[in-house]
Chains A and B, each alone.
Chain A
Amino acid sequence: MKNSGAKAKTIKNGLPFIGLISVIVILEIASGGQLLTSRNISTLVNEVFVLMIGASAMVFLMAQGNLDLSMMANLAVSCVLAVKAAQVNPLLAIPVGIGVGTGIGAVNGVINAKCKIDSFITTIGMSFVLTGLVTILLDNQGSIAGPMEMLSWNSTELRIVVLACVAAVGYILFEYSKLGKYCKAIGSCEEAARQSGVNVDKVKIITFMITGGISGLLAFFSILRTGTATSSVATNTMFNILIAVLLGGVSITGGSTSKFRAAILGSFTMAFLAVGMTICNVDTTIQQLIRGAILIGIVYLTYDRRGIAIIK
């Protein structure tokens, strides 16, 4: 009895991985072995980079039952200011990018925590503001270029290291630190968390600052890769990050079932799909069909419904 229960638990815990693995296997076969080649490593790394780092930050918010839809608009603004700073001195791009991002995150946090505005509304509103702001900051130019030398700082190795660090730090923070546990507690029952001495507002603001700071970090890496800041706001990437976390099995209501691995599994699944389907030259309309079906299918198979009385 006990044994079979334990077995069922391992299977349930393994399921999310099975989703990712089957996506990889199917694409590997469909592409005739072209997916997992050494040349593709860097492609995959670049595809997964924004997704996974963004998702790693987002999962903290989603554990609280919040989300940040202004991350990419934040990235665009941070990017513009970082490029302007880099024109003075390329090294300034890092502190300015992350600083601006964190600052915007703090504004989100204060509006959400102190003014009690739902995070969805807060960050949609902010992304309107920021989208306007980018173009205003760019003075109606489409883009501004950063110093050319920054392009040479970019390397796949650096990205792999950063990815690994973010994953490791994120995992430890989420599963083993006070911050992660507080986030889950807030998602589970905010009032009970407050009455257990959790400074709910502070935790929320800090988490928004983290997603903001991460946007700033991503802005810096975007400059390394593109050498430029443009007025475009990557709305699709924003929603892909959200989809990645959902695909990994985190529910938007958050709470104690949230797992950090969702960020990693979900973003890798998305990245493998993106790269694999291009390699297989799948028609773009069909690609979207497959994405939609996979999102629903994988979540159906792997969603952890234990302890959730009513699914939201």
Chain B
Amino acid sequence: MRRNILIRIGYILIIPLLLMAIFTLASTGFSFASSYIVLSQTMLPLVMAFGVSFTFVVGIFEMSVGAQVILSAVVGGILCRYLGFPGLVIGAVGTGLLCGAAMGAVYRFLKIPTMVISLGMLMLFEVIAQALTKGSGYVSLESEISSMGTPPYNFVIAGIAGVLFYIIFHKTKFGHGIRALGCNDYVAVNLGLNNNKLKFKTYLIGGMFYGIAGILSICYAGSISAKMDLGSLSMMFPPIISVLIGLQLKNIVNVFPVTILIGAYSVTVLASGMIAVGLPAPMQDFVTGIFMLVVMIISTNSAKLGKLFDRRKLLNRLNKAAE
């Protein structure tokens, strides 16, 4: 039994280890020693991915991830000027919650598709962040406070988020509810679950994680810039890829925050590794796309590949029996 678990853990570590091995061999500078830096870079997409996973699991299309993170960071940064670090936390997390509540309310009361909500609200969030940063276009922090975005503090913040995520996703009634709703919402509602309430909470909790991600994001570099014209969209890709990988790995080890971490870590290793081997930028895009597709194809079809293997065994057995 114990052995079994070790094997499973080994199994889910394959992707990041493989990537690190490749890049260590292919470049001079990159080595397993770089993993600490990479891990530190992983914290931001990781916390965003926590938020994304709720909406993803429950079947909501959510594209305003980046806009919510930016808006939270902007508000947090502004409050930080008056109240210091607590202001940052209250501002960012509060804004995240407000964003989530706003989206949830739109879903609940206007009854429109989630994709529309996410794109419409994304535009509004961008405008608000823009209005709040009018003048400089960005909000910056004093460097003592922004050190909260560097190790070990960012590990602590992400760690708290991770524990929170684990409890909410795996251990609460809400977590059970959204997983049920994600399987088949029609049946779940028939069984008495309240779709509107659960989706509202999903948006709310997603927003909370985007708020935490907002803290990490503004601390990490000391400043955050507002984006317009859907410019915040691209921020959603790393967390989404992380969640996808995490979901696949979750079938092997059912601890979602850990498998998301591995997903996010793989994505970050890939990005750093490509820089380390000196790939020109267009090639970096190209490889990222290919990586994403290949990982998805292999992981989605691995069960099928396994079946093919079983099939072969069965055939052999049949052939033997025939002889």
Q: Which residues of A contact B (CB under 8 A)?
A: 111, 115-117, 121-122, 124-136, 140, 235-236, 239, 242-243, 246-247, 251-253, 284-285, 288-289, 291-293, 295-296, 299-300, 303, 305, 309-312
Contact = CB atoms under 8 A, between A and B. Distances in A.
B229 A309 contact: no
Contacts of A299: 112-113, 116, 120
Interface string B170-209: 0000000000000001100100000100000000000000
Give the 7 A-B CB pairs with smallest separation, nearest first: A128-B289, A132-B286, A292-B123, A129-B289, A132-B285, A135-B282, A296-B120
B87 to A, nearest CB: 26
A150 B233 CA distance: 35
B292 A311 contact: no
B233 A303 contact: no
Interface of B: 59-61, 106-107, 110-117, 119-124, 126-127, 130-131, 185-186, 189, 195, 228-230, 233, 237, 240, 244, 280-290, 292-293, 296-297, 300-301
Contact of B292 (A124, A131, A235): A124
A121 B288 CA distance: 12
Given A125-B296, A288-B127, A292-B127, A243 B119 contact: yes
B94 to A, nearest CB: 22
22 contacts: A117-B293, A124-B240, A126-B293, A134-B282, A135-B281, A135-B285, A140-B280, A140-B282, A236-B229, A239-B230, A239-B233, A285-B131, A285-B228, A288-B126, A288-B127, A291-B123, A292-B122, A292-B123, A295-B123, A299-B113, A309-B189, A311-B107
A143 to B, nearest CB: 14
A305 B282 contact: no
A117 B297 contact: yes
B106 A235 contact: no
A311 B286 contact: no
Given A128-B285, A136-B282, A293-B124, A303 B112 contact: yes
Contact of A312 (B113, B127, B280, B296): B113
Contact of B296 (A117, A246, A285, A293): A117
A285 B111 contact: no
A311 B113 contact: yes
Contacts of B186: 309-310
Contacts of B119: 239, 242-243, 246, 292, 295
A239 B111 CA distance: 22
A131 B120 CA distance: 26
Nearest to B106: A296
A122 B244 CA distance: 12
Contacts of B244: 121
B159 to A, nearest CB: 29
Contacts of B281: 135
B193 to A, nearest CB: 11
A73 to B, nearest CB: 9
A295 B64 CA distance: 14
Given A309-B189, A310-B195, A132 B282 contact: yes
A252 B113 contact: yes
A122 B230 contact: no
B288 A293 contact: no
Nearest to B285: A132
A312 B121 CA distance: 16
Contacts of A117: 293, 296-297, 300
